[in-house]
Amino acid sequence: MQRIGVFVCWCGSNIAATVDVKAVAEAAKHEPGVVFSTDYQYMCSENGQAMIREAIKEHRLTGVVICSCSPRMHEATFRKTAVSAGLNPYMVEIANIREQCSWIHKDMAEGTEKAIILARAAIAKVHLNAPLVAGTSPVTKRALVIGGGIAGIQTALDIADAGFEVDIVEKAPTIGGRMAQLDKTFPTLDCSACILTPKMVDAAQHEKINIISYAELDSLSGFVGNFTAKIRKKARFIDETKCTGCGICTEKCPSRKGLNDFNMGLNTRGAVYIPFAQAIPNVAVIDSAQCIHFRTGKCGLCEKNCSAGAIKFDQKDEILEREYGAIVVATGFKPIDASAFNEYAYSDSPDVVTSLEFERIMNAAGPTKGKLVRPSDGKHPHEIVFIQCVGSRCTEDATKGKPYCSKICCMYTAKHAMLVREKYPDVKVHVFYIDARTPGKNFDEFYRRAVEQYDVDYIKGMVGKVSVEQDHLHVQGSDLINNEQIHINADMVVLATAIEPDPTARALGTMLTASMDTNDFFTEAHPKLRPVESPTAGVFLSGVAQGPKDIPETVAQAGAAAAKVIGLLCKNELTCNPCVAHANEALCNGCSQCERVCPYGAITYEDKEVRSPEFRGIKRIAVVNGAICQGCGACTVTCPSGAMDLKGFSNSQIMAEVDAICR
Amino acid sequence: MQEMIKERVLTLINEGAADRVLAWETGEFFYDRTPKFFDKNNVNDLKYDSFCGANVTKYLIAEMPKEGKTIVLVKPCDSYSLNQLCTEHRVNREKVYALGVGCRGKIDVEKLRTMGIKGITAITEEGDTLTVSTLYGEKKVARKDALLDKCLCCKGKEHKGVDEVIGDSEETSVGDKFEMVAKLEAMTPDERFEFWRGELSKCIRCNACRNVCPACSCIKCVFDNPKSGVDNKAAADDFEENMFHIIRAYHVAGRCTDCGECSRVCPQGIPLHLLNRKMIKDINELYGDYQAGAEIGQRHPLTDYTLSDDEPSVVHERGGANA
């Protein structure tokens, strides 16, 4: 029989305001096995912990139940308290009477009744707890960064500077990401490429950084400190070790009709191409769907003209198997598809462009060499309308847009407006906005400059319709301040489209078992206190993959994620979770169901001699690798014969809790 | 066909390709066909005819530790069970020679009785007509009216993954196997609860369904394990009794090949297969059509995940995977 102590925390008024803590402590006293029960204002305080330590010694407690906040908050604290009093840490159970009780109830009687029931369940479980001992596992001192945009580059640089090896896996042929496509950056209006490309070069030249471009994560197994990744290096049909990036092949290629992704499809490129001048690696890539050689077997002009002999038409996808201790997700974003917004005529007129397209038009390396012209006829525009929140804060139609604020649009639209007015003072610029959101250092000053110095016409209100008329676009909107309908004949319309997570994020999240929100942004372990860690141990978040943010925030978060990775890779070994699954050999049928549901690949099979009343002889049974098992319990519920059980959360412990609740 | 089978089995044994055969023998009554192992000395007693409804594949499990190879006679429906047992490593396919046997549906003597035919002494068949001899004279019955229910929604007459096939088969499927499930789904929760309470209250816990089920292949069943926490509950009160069937349906979900043996052997005539079929229908709707046992090594949707899997609630909202 266990000797159990129950400690009920008030959490100031957090619990005590809706739960009669004295009544809970009193009720617990009458539960079987409970030899001591008390309440205190803050159990997690030094005084509270001292009270627990003394009670363990004085009453020779073998089990402890703390009725307090969520175990996610203070389970570790109380386990350490128990250890310091000589008790096994796994003899501590938390009854969550705050998040699951006091915070969600208003009525004291109801709250108290529920808190007593939750305490009863925890007491019933402690009766079946057994001391557990944690093992250790080694740490592979290398990090994987998925995504080579500014977030990934900065994270990799910071980790590498601390002396650890980093691989950057980038799905595009070059690193650089979205920032490489930008013209200028707010709030300083410095050139994006001028500040990004030195970082790209730093990453390329860093002896600890290995850039694996044109590659994607194929599969991942293992656990924190010990991940094994299979990385698919897609065939670029160019020998990277030979290509000098001279670009002759890209000039000679006769197939010129491929849309240039880097310029948002505003112009075309050859089938063999280098995405942009400062690409890293500066190596060409062949688009096999477009290449004449791949379609007809003829041509081969690039091969004939390559003096380095780098063209390899027979190159195949290559799978690299690498081991990592930590993984950083920096998969970034893409603008949403604006064609869902028919009212803005995006599909009907080339003169309606998205902001990222506009960014390319304004860029000196873009399709117009930086000259602002109308895409339809190449003429100079005289009046431009910017529309904010296209698909952002779109709560009425979830299929069309996104419920969240994309955060960067207010600022980049102010930037665009200012750039246009600076370069072409003859162009009239109107901005339709719902709210101008400028919370950031020097952000509001920046926006006010657009309004006050550059005389940009900000109109509070939304555009109802853009219609294509002979040589202009008719924009019909409302001015909410003057309460009037506005009609503008514009030459161009620029849509500040919402941003969404990169489409590869969802599949990656499943592969990493890292949780995501309904918008496919990766979820942080705690929204305030652990913002760069995913709830999955060893997986960290950097940049827009976690939520919309601008470049300064992304770089700050990238550094924070790197700090967390460095903290992990510094350790030589990690303490394993002892709450792992194990198979009862007498009951196991070796049917393989558990192996199939195990997300960590922790289960294998052995032919083992078994002697039990039901079976004598050699049979196939499941064996769990305790270092890999994360204790998720998927196997225990899949096992038809009940052979699989989880230490610390056994079937009988859970049934005891249910029984205690239903009593 | 029976003679062809015997001849082929003897040849295989004599050639050393196998040591024994798992098939059927005549039981207590002339229409009883009981699973039995034969060797070359008694293979002459092997029976294969329109009464061989029983699925014998499960008996291979106990045979596995023995030396040598076993021939097993499988009807098209039985071949699915064999594959599923191999997938679950309960049967080693290398120790089995799967001999597919033709099938034109099997006769349900109980059905003849419910037609009011009593005192049956013999049944002969000629084409699509059965001649039933009784103590009170002869009766003619259309063969299709006397087939087992499971034959009327047969999965098709293709033997899956067998080593060879002897004899021809005839289609017997006449309807949509999910018709009754759809009817149950259309009931109100109260009506459905009443339906199942009515049916399951007939259960006498003889365990025939569990013992015949090829998916119920655990060495020790949770209902026989005092530590499982469910063994005594199943006998504690009349609803816990119902839980036996519900738990069993969950345990075989995704693994049940819909062989229909549970309902065929139930002495109380409980339509147990409907529980399993509801699971199959749900799985098909959530994850796309899936047939357990169609081949060896399949990963059934409930223990498999793919990167493109949707949340069940999402699929359900839009009305199934095919919507």
Q: Which of A511, A587, A618 sits opposite B219 (nearest CB)?
A: A587
Q: Which of B218, B304, B305 sits opposite A641 (nearest CB)?
A: B218
Q: Which amino acid is at A313?
A: F
pLDDT band at A649 (very low <50, low <70, confident <90, very high): very high
**Do the chains contact at A591 and B308, CB–CB below 8 Å?**
no
pLDDT band at A575 (very low <50, low <70, confident <90, very high): confident
pLDDT of residue B316: 66
**Do the chains contact at A596 and B304, CB–CB below 8 Å?**
yes
Q: What is the mean pLDDT of chain B?
A: 89
B-chain CB neighbours of A124 within 8 Å are none
Taking the domains of chain B in order of start, what are their residue ranges? Answer: 1-105+155-174, 109-146, 176-323
φ, ψ dihedrals at A24, nearest 5° = -65, -45
- Across the A/B interface, how many CB contacts are shorter than 8 Å? 64
Which of 3.40.50.300, 3.40.50.11740, 3.50.50.60, 3.90.420.10 is the CATH number of A142-234+317-332+502-569? Answer: 3.50.50.60
What six digits make up the tokens of B277?
């079929």
Quick check: B319 pLDDT over 80?
Answer: no
Cβ atoms within 10 Å, residue A72: 13
pLDDT band at B235 (very low <50, low <70, confident <90, very high): low
Quick check: A286 pLDDT over 70?
Answer: yes
Question: pTM of whole model > 0.80?
Answer: no
What's the DSSP call for residue A109? H
Higher-confidence residue: B66 or B239?
Answer: B66
Cα distance between residue A340 and residue A408, in whole Å: 21
* Strand ranges, E, within A330-440: 333-335, 352-354, 383-390, 428-433
CATH 3.50.50.60 segments of chain A: 142-234+317-332+502-569, 334-500
**Do the chains contact at B219 and A589, CB–CB below 8 Å?**
yes
pLDDT of residue B265: 93
Give the distance from residue A596's alpha carbon to the nearest chain B alpha carbon, in angstroms: 6
**Do the chains contact at A507 and B307, CB–CB below 8 Å?**
yes
Cβ atoms within 10 Å, residue A69: 23
Give the distance from residue B278's alpha carbon to the nearest chain A alpha carbon, in angstroms: 19
Beta strand A472-479 pairing with A463-469: antiparallel
Burial class (CB in 10 A: 0-12, 13-18, 19+), A108: middle
CATH no., domain A581-647:
3.30.70.3270
Residues 6 or more apart whose CB falls under 8 angstroms from that of A432 comprise A385, A386, A387, A388, A459, A461, A462, A463, A477
**Do the chains contact at B90 and A589, CB–CB below 8 Å?**
yes
The percent of residues above 70 in pLDDT, for chain A, comes to 100
Asked if A118 and A19 touch (Cβ cutoff 8 Å), the reply is no
A-chain CB neighbours of B89 within 8 Å are 589-592, 605, 620
Give the distance from residue A517's alpha carbon to the nearest chain B alpha carbon, in angstroms: 13
Mean pLDDT of B73-93: 95
Asked if A160 and A420 touch (Cβ cutoff 8 Å), the reply is no
Q: Which of B89, B252, B307 sits opposite A590 (nearest CB)?
A: B89
CATH 3.40.50 segments of chain A: 4-126
CATH no., domain A334-500:
3.50.50.60
pLDDT of residue B307: 62
What six digits make up the tokens of A325?
């201790």
Q: Which of A617, A640, A642 sits opposite B65 (nearest CB)?
A: A617
pLDDT of residue B4: 92
Mean pLDDT of A328-336: 97
**Do the chains contact at B218 and A587, CB–CB below 8 Å?**
yes
A-chain CB neighbours of B67 within 8 Å are none
Higher-confidence residue: B233 or B297?
Answer: B297
pLDDT of residue A616: 85
**Do the chains contact at B220 and A586, CB–CB below 8 Å?**
yes
Which residue, among B220, B279, B304, B318, would best test binding to A if mutated, counting the most A CBs under 10 Å from its CB?
B220
Give the distance from residue A598's alpha carbon to the nearest chain B alpha carbon, in angstroms: 9
Mean pLDDT of A495-515: 93
**Do the chains contact at A507 and B299, CB–CB below 8 Å?**
no
The residue among A68, A87, A84 whose CA lies nearest residue A24 is A68
Residues 6 or more apart whose CB falls under 8 angstroms from that of A359 comprise A181, A182, A183, A366, A412, A416
Which residue, among A128, A589, A645, would best test binding to B if mutated, counting the most B CBs under 10 Å from its CB?
A589
Mean pLDDT of A635-657: 93
Burial class (CB in 10 A: 0-12, 13-18, 19+), A252: middle
What is the maximum span of chain B, computed from C-alpha positions, in angstroms? 65
Asked if A341 and A495 touch (Cβ cutoff 8 Å), the reply is yes
Q: What angle do CA A482, A485, A487 make, to 5 degrees?
A: 120
A-chain CB neighbours of B220 within 8 Å are 586-587, 612, 614, 641
A-chain CB neighbours of B218 within 8 Å are 587, 589, 640-641
The residue among A470, A461, A518, A494 whose CA lies nearest residue A338 is A494
Q: What is the mean pLDDT of chain A?
A: 94
pLDDT of residue B287: 83
pLDDT of residue A500: 96
**What DSSP assignment string belongs to A521-550?**
PBPPSBTTTBTTB-SSTTEEE-GGGTS---
Asked if A456 and A347 touch (Cβ cutoff 8 Å), the reply is no
**Do the chains contact at A640 and B299, CB–CB below 8 Å?**
no
Quick check: B242 pLDDT over 90?
Answer: no
Cβ atoms within 10 Å, residue A428: 18
**Do the chains contact at A591 and B90, CB–CB below 8 Å?**
yes
pLDDT band at B236 (very low <50, low <70, confident <90, very high): low
CATH no., domain A4-126:
3.40.50
- Establish how many alpha carbons lie within 13 A of residue A380's alpha carbon, considering only the half-sphere containing its beta carbon: 9
Quick check: A614 pLDDT over 90?
Answer: no
Task: Please give the ipTM for the structure prediction.
Answer: 0.84
Q: Which residue has the tokens 């003057």?
A: A482
- Identify residues of A whose CB sits under 8 angstroms from chain B CBs: 506-507, 510-511, 586-587, 589-593, 596-597, 599, 605, 612, 614-615, 617-620, 638, 640-642, 651-652, 655
If you count them, how many residues does chain A have?
663
Mean pLDDT of A638-642: 91
Give the distance from residue A599's alpha carbon to the nearest chain B alpha carbon, in angstroms: 9
Asked if A560 and A582 touch (Cβ cutoff 8 Å), the reply is no
Residue in chain A lying closest to B252 (CA): A640
Q: Which of A590, A596, A642 sits opposite B222 (nearest CB)?
A: A642
Q: What angle do CA B110, B113, B115 make, to 5 degrees?
A: 115
Q: How far is CA A278 from the centre of its chain?
A: 28
Find the range with the poorest average confidence among A369-383, B132-146, B303-317: B303-317
pLDDT of residue B25: 94
Cα distance between residue A602 and residue A614, in whole Å: 27
**Do the chains contact at A614 and B220, CB–CB below 8 Å?**
yes
Burial class (CB in 10 A: 0-12, 13-18, 19+), B114: exposed
pLDDT of residue B226: 82
Quick check: B322 pLDDT over 60?
Answer: no
Q: Which amino acid is at A653?
A: Q
Q: Which of B65, B229, B252 sits opposite A655 (nearest CB)?
A: B229
